[in-house]
């Protein structure tokens, strides 16, 4: 990246900015990926907060990066941070000073990262427009969640569209910046091997699981109004599904990639009425044991009664030629047994077995496991003959490409990648408005169905893998979930 940029972070003193965005820019700086003269401009509401910003930022970055933090390089990096006191809700003199600061800059591009509640996106863009700051080379980055449902998302997108053209609106989904997610595209589109092995003829089913050990993490009011469907499935899991299911874009441009993802979302079979009960499981954790300790249930943490779901499992279908009759099982939840994000592609059985499986052991279908976190790896399980046995004994072994071993110095950081892309004007990993609309169009009727009287999430113990009905969702199809650390590596 060589163009000099100004990167403004509205909500610069907030949790996301201090925990993710500033540390990510610090990493980029240390890697020499920040062009000289570029500036990071976090905004604060008050002049006092701007004055105390650098000390606070340093403390937070030290806390979050641990051993990776190094004082000398931080001091050098800190010269590029310019805290600015400007209040989004008041178009006063400070906005003039802010505009002057940006207009007297060597930067050739400008990014406004809105790390604020979506309710103020419109107002913020309006003020940027009033000060003439939304120039042709200015981009605006919107954090998720965009809206609460299709209608509210549309209203937010409409407000922003009044002041920025779609090409300059960058909707972020940090899962798109994760390295293994990038590698999923590389795996699919740069290896001829998979080109003919990526459809209903070869693949039995796909599982996409994002399990978390954390609970509410103090985000009480946000999370209870959202739940796992809006917080995770509507964005992160559907984005992963798109990358697995989409056709090859004709080139790696933002428009071509997004066009292919939109086709997948459009082909998602709607789940309406009674189909919701048959294909979707929602759960909420109750008290359970994790790491030898008893942890409270969701409603205890919340201090109130609630029917918000902390777990969702879905059987989805993509109605097109490539994926006809191949189920995509999606699953996510808080307070689950392991922290893991994994895509499992389960291939079909061989068409005819030449082995006497009673003697040789059961043949298992090949499985491609793309692990996004905690470690980043791609594994393929294959059947082989056990060399230690005199007789033929079939055994699954795993071909393991572990990225953290392969690239030991590499520090994976989804936000770094995505923010650098925004500064460089590359929107290919960002989300188009039509993707947001299509994702809500699929999610909304499911949530609507949950509003029916007597509909409630099923309880599951903290530390488990979710409600029993989620297992039944697969066992009814003669399949099982592959749970990280249990049965995902081997059969
Ligand atoms: C966020 C959700 O988008 O993603 C959180 O709002 C969730 O609830 C987080 O914990 C998970 O991200 P990661 O990168 O830790 O898997």
pLDDT of 245: 98
Please determine, for residue 88, whether its predicted confidence score (pLDDT) is greater than 50. yes
Confirm if 145 and 114 have CB atoms less than 8 A apart: no
> What average pLDDT score do residues 431-460 get?
96
Residue 491 has pLDDT above 50, yes or no: no
Looking at the DSSP assignment, which residues form a beta bridge with residue 459? 284
pLDDT-derived band of residue 403, with 50, 70 and 90 as boundaries?
Answer: confident
List pLDDT tens digits, range 169-198: 999 999 999 988 888 999 999 999 888 899
- Say what percent of the chain tops pLDDT 70: 98
Separation between Cα atoms, residue 487 and residue 181, nearest integer Å: 22
pLDDT for position 485: 64
Distance from residue 385's CA to the centre of ligand 1 (Å): 41
Band (490; pLDDT cuts 50, 70, 90): very low
Looking at ligand 1, which residue's alpha carbon is closest to its atom 5? 231
* Averaged pLDDT for residues 372-391: 90
* Residue 486 pLDDT grade (very low, low, confident, very high; cuts 50, 70, 90): low
Give the range among 245-254, 309-318, 351-360 with minimum mean pLDDT: 351-360
Assigned fold of 5-143: Rossmann fold (3.40.50)
- Rounded to the nearest whole angstrom, what is the distance from the C-alpha of residue 55 to the centroid of ligand 1? 27
CATH of region 176-475: 3.30.360.10
The pLDDT confidence band at residue 221, using thresholds 50, 70 and 90, is confident
**Domain locations in the chain as residue ranges:** 5-143, 176-475
Residue 1 binned pLDDT confidence (cut-offs 50, 70, 90):
low
Chain-wide mean pLDDT for the chain? 94
Give the integer Cα–Cα distance in Å for 350 and 202: 10
The reply to whether domains 5-143 and 176-475 share a CATH topology is no
Q: Which tens digits make up the pLDDT trace of 92-143?
A: 999 999 999 999 998 999 999 999 999 999 999 999 999 999 999 999 999 9
Q: Within 6 Å (CB) of ligand 1, which residues are found?
A: 174, 212, 231, 341
pTM for this entry: 0.95
Q: Which atom of ligand 1 is nearest to the CA of 214?
A: 10
427-437: pLDDT as tens digits: 999 999 999 99
Residue 332 alpha carbon to ligand 1 centre in Å: 11
Say whether pLDDT at 488 is over 60.
Answer: no
Residue that the structure tokens 């082909």 belong to: 267
3-state secondary structure the chain: CCCCEEEEEECCCCHHHHHHHHHHHHHHHHCCCCCCCCEEEEEECCHHHHHCHHHHHHHHHHHHHHHHCCHHHHHHHHCCECCEECCCCCCCHHHHHHHHHHHCCCCCEEEEEECCCHHHHHHHHHHHHHCCCCCCCEEEEECCCCCCCHHHHHHHHHHHHCCCCHHHEEECCHHHHCHHHHHHHHHHHCCHHHHCCCCCCCEEEEEEEEECCCCCCCCHHHHHHHCHHHHHHHHHHHHHHHHHHCCCCCCCCHHHHHHHHHHHHHHECCCCCHHHHHHEEEEEEECEEECCEEECCHHHHHCCCCCCCCEEEEEECECCCCCCCCCEEEEEECCCCCCEEEEEEEECCCCCCCCCHHHHCCCCCCEEEEEEECCCEEEEEEEEECCCCCCCCEEEEEEEEEHHHHCCCCCCCHHHHHHHHHHHCCCCCCECHHHHHHHHHHHHHHHHHHCCCCCCCEEEECCCCCCHHHHHHHHCCCCCCCCCCCCCCCC
Pocket test of ligand 1: the residue of 178, 212, 413 to mutate, having most ligand atoms within 8 Å of its CB, is 212
- Does residue 41 register a pLDDT over 80? yes
Q: Over the stretch 199-217, which tens digit does the pLDDT of each residue have?
A: 999 999 999 999 999 998 8
Q: Is 236 a catalytic residue?
A: yes
**Could you tell me the CA-to-CA distances from 321 to 61, 232, 245, 326, 477 in Å, in that order?**
48, 27, 11, 10, 21
pLDDT at 363: 87
Give the closest residue to 444 by CA, choosing from 223, 255, 280.
280
Query: So what's the pLDDT on residue 43?
Result: 98
Kindly tell me if the per-residue pLDDT of 234 is higher than 60: yes
Residue tagged active-site, from 174, 205, 236, 432: 236
Q: Among 175, 224, 236, 312, which is best to mutate for testing ligand 1, by the most ligand atoms less than 8 A from CB?
A: 236
Protein residue closest via CA to atom 2 of ligand 1:
231
């Amino acid at each position: 990246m060589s163009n000099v940029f100004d990167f403004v972070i509205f909500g610069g003193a907030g949790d996301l900015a201090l925990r993710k965005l500033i540390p990510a820019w610090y990493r980029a700086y240390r890697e020499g990926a920040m062009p000289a003269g570029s500036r990071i401009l976090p905004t604060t509401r008050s002049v006092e907060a701007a004055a105390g910003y650098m000390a606070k930022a340093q403390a937070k970055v030290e806390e979050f990066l641990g051993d990776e933090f190094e004082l000398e390089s931080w001091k050098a990096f800190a010269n590029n941070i310019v805290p600015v006191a400007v209040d989004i809700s008041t178009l006063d003199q400070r906005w003039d000073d802010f505009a002057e600061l940006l207009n007297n800059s060597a930067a050739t591009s400008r990014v406004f990262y809105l790390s604020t509640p979506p309710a103020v996106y419109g107002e913020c863009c309006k003020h940027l427009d009033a000060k003439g700051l939304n120039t042709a080379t200015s981009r605006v980055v919107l954090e998720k969640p965009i809206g609460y449902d299709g209608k509210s998302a549309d209203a937010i997108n409409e407000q922003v569209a009044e002041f920025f053209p779609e090409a300059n609106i960058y909707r972020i989904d940090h899962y798109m910046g994760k390295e293994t997610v990038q590698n999923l595209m590389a795996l699919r589109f740069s290896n001829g091997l998979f080109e003919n092995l990526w459809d209903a003829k070869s693949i039995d089913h796909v599982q996409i699981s994002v399990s978390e050990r954390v609970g509410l993490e103090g985000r009480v009011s946000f999370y209870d109004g959202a739940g796992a469907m809006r917080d995770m499935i509507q964005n992160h899991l559907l984005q992963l599904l798109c990358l697995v299911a989409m056709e090859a874009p004709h080139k790696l441009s933002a428009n071509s990639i997004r066009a292919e993802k939109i086709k997948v979302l459009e082909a998602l079979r709607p789940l309406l009425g009674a189909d919701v009960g048959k294909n979707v499981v929602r759960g909420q954790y109750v008290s359970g044991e994790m790491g030898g300790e008893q942890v409270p249930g969701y409603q205890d943490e919340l201090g109130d009664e609630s029917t918000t779901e902390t777990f969702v499992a879905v059987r989805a279908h993509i109605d097109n030629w490539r994926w006809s009759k191949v189920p995509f099982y999606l699953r996510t939840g808080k307070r689950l047994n392991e922290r893991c994000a994994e895509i499992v592609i389960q291939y079909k059985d061989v068409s005819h077995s030449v082995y006497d499986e009673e003697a040789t052991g059961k043949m298992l279908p090949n499985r491609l496991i793309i692990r996004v976190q905690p470690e980043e790896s791609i594994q393929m399980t294959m059947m082989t003959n056990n060399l230690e046995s005199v007789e033929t004994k079939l055994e699954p072994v795993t071909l393991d490409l572990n990225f953290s071993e392969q690239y030991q110095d590499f520090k994976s950081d989804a936000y770094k990648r995505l923010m650098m892309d925004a500064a460089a004007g590359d929107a290919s990993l960002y989300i188009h408005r039509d993707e947001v609309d299509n994702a809500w169009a699929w999610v909304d009727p499911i949530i609507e169905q949950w509003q029916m009287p007597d509909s409630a999430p099923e309880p599951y113990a903290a530390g488990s893998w979710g409600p029993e009905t989620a297992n039944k969702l697969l066992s009814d199809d003669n399949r099982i979930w592959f749970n990280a650390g249990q049965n995902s590596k081997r059969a």
